[in-house]
Amino acid sequence: MNIVVCVKRVPLTQEVDLEIDGTGKDVKKDALAYVVNDWDNYAIEEAVLLQEKFGGTATAITIGTEDDEEVLRRALAVGADRAIRIDPGDLELDGFVISKLLAGVIKDLEYDLVLTGVQADDDNCGMVGIMLAEHLGLSHAAVVTGVEPEGDEATIKVELEGGMDEVSKIPFPALLSIQTGINEPRYVSIMGIRKAGKKELKVLEVADLNLTEDDLTPRTVVEEVFLPPETEGAEIIEGDASTVAEEIIRILTEKGVMV
């Protein structure tokens, strides 16, 4: 089974107090550390697990600068066979343009399955995967938490809201957007990543992809980004742990949930 997996490099922001940059349209990113998008980690792992089980090749693709090749080397270290980076140059990107760029590359590859993460940690859009499937004319499913190939189709699990999974069958070739928790991504060591540097990594320019002006025009524009207002939200209970505990107990008792 030949698998293509799309990955993105995103900033690590969990512990960071983000600030807005000079343009007002993005956050300051110069001091941020970059990692593989969490959802994509699961997608890479799933691609390699399937490839280990069913044979075939796994190809990792990203869009970005040379720095972004790091996520490809990680994917190669996990077990992908080759990698492709699409260099967007100065192109303005949104979910739509990204899906077009990816489609432009993937359409010429041989594959049975395309995997993406459900969404990216930075823009939280969650649209690239399914748009890409449509451009390629593939059957598709979003928020997938289980894949079991059987011949030329797969039984998949889609995570629904409210603690429910939907089981369905989907024929190959297909695109699945992978949800976290589908597997346990393995650790790849620094040494492993360096060794993976020997595997094939191809770089493509946008011009190589035969895309139209329309394909390369974003359909949405970020007008501004802003931090949530500080004032809204919880009333902070001050004091040492003991005072806090007393106050919590008072609230619980007042609400009648604790005697």
Partner 1 sequence: MITLTHPAAVTYLGLPGYVFAWLIFVSGLSIFSYIIYRRYLLIRSGKPDPRFSDTGKRVLDLIVYGFIQKRQPRYLWAGLIHIMIFWGFVVLGLRSIDLVSQGLSLPFLRPLTQTGFGPFYDTFKDIFELIVLGACLWAILRRALVKHERYEGSHTFEAYFVLCLISFLMITDMFYEGSMLLLNKSQETFLPASRLAALVLSDSSPRLLTGTHIWSYWLHLITFFFFLNFLPLGKHFHIITALPNVFLRKPDKGAIKPAQWGVEDIDELETLGVEKFEDFTWKHILDFYTCTECGRCSDNCPAHITGRPLSPKMLTLKLRDHGYHKVPVFGSADREGAKEDEKDDALPMIGGLISRDEIWSCTTCGACEEECPVFIEYIDKIIDMRRHLIETAQNPKTFNQVLMHFEKTGNPFGKPATKRADWVKELEDTDVRVLKEGDEVDVLYFVDSYGSYDPAAQAIAAAIVKGLNSAGIDFGILGPLEKDSGHQVRRMGEEGLFQLLVEENMETLSSVRFKSIITTDPHALNTLKKDYPGDFEVFHYTQFFQSLVETGQLRPAKSPDTDDIYTYHDPCYLGRHNGIYNEPRQLLGSIPGLKLVEMERSRDRSFCCGGGDIVLWHEIEQEEIRMASMRIQMAKEAGANVIVTACPFCFIHFEDAIKTDGLENDLRVVDLMKLFVSTLA
Partner 2 sequence: MGDIFVVVEHRKGEVRDITYEMLFKAGQLCREYSHNLTAVILAGHDESFLDDIAPKADRGIVYEDESLKHFNGDLYRDILKGLIEEHRPFLTLAGHTSWGMDLGPALSAKTGYPLATDCVDILVENDRPVVIRQIFSGKVFSRVSFKESEGYLVSVRPGSFLPEDIEARKGEVIKNELPADLPVPRKNFVEFVDTAAGDVDISQADLLVSIGRGIGDEDNIEELKNLANTMGGTLSCSRPIVDKNWLPKYHQVGTSGKSVKPKVYLAFGISGAFQHVAGITAAGTVIAVNKDKKAPIFRVADYGVVDDLFNVVNALKEKLNA
Amino acid present at 92: E
Nearest to 1 by CA among 74, 70, 50: 50
Picked from partner 2, partner 1, none, the partner binding residue 130 (CB below 5 to 8 A depending on kind) is: partner 2
249 sits near partner 2 (criterion: CB under 8 A): yes
203 binds, among partner 1, partner 2, none (CB under 5 to 8 A by kind): none
194 binds partner 1 (CB under 8 A): yes
In whole angstroms, the minimum distance from the beta carbon of 26 to partner 1 comes to 17
Dihedral angle of Cα 123, 125, 129, 133, to the nearest 10 degrees: -130
Verify binding: residue 185, partner 1, rule CB under 8 A. yes
Instruction: List the one residue from 1, 20, 35, 204 that touches partner 1 (CB under 8 A).
Output: 35
Compute how many residues bind partner 1; rule: CB under 8 A. Answer: 21
- Answer yes or no whether residue 199 interacts with partner 1 by CB under 8 A: no
Residue 245 in the binding site for partner 2 (CB under 8 A): yes
Other beta carbons less than 10 A from residue 174's beta carbon: 22
* Residue carrying the six token digits 């190939």: 149
Nearest distance from residue 189's CB to partner 1, in Å?
A: 5
| Residues 36/69, Cβ–Cβ less than 8 Å | no
Q: In 3-state terms, what secondary structure has residue 72?
A: helix
169 binds partner 1 (CB under 8 A): no
Least gap, CB of 11 to partner 1 (angstroms) = 10
The 126-165 site mask, x for binding partner 1 (CB under 8 A), equals ----------------------------------------
d(CA 233, CA 110): 51
Hey, which residues does 162 pair with through a beta bridge?
none
Q: What is the 3-state secondary structure (H, E, C) of 154-176?
A: EEEEEEECCCEEEEEEEECCEEE
CA gap 130, 119 in Å, rounded: 11
Site residues for partner 2, window 77-106 (CB under 8 A)?
A: 95-96, 99
* 221 counts as binding partner 1 under rule CB under 8 A: no
In the complex, the residues that contact partner 1 under the rule CB under 8 A are 12, 14-16, 31-35, 184-195
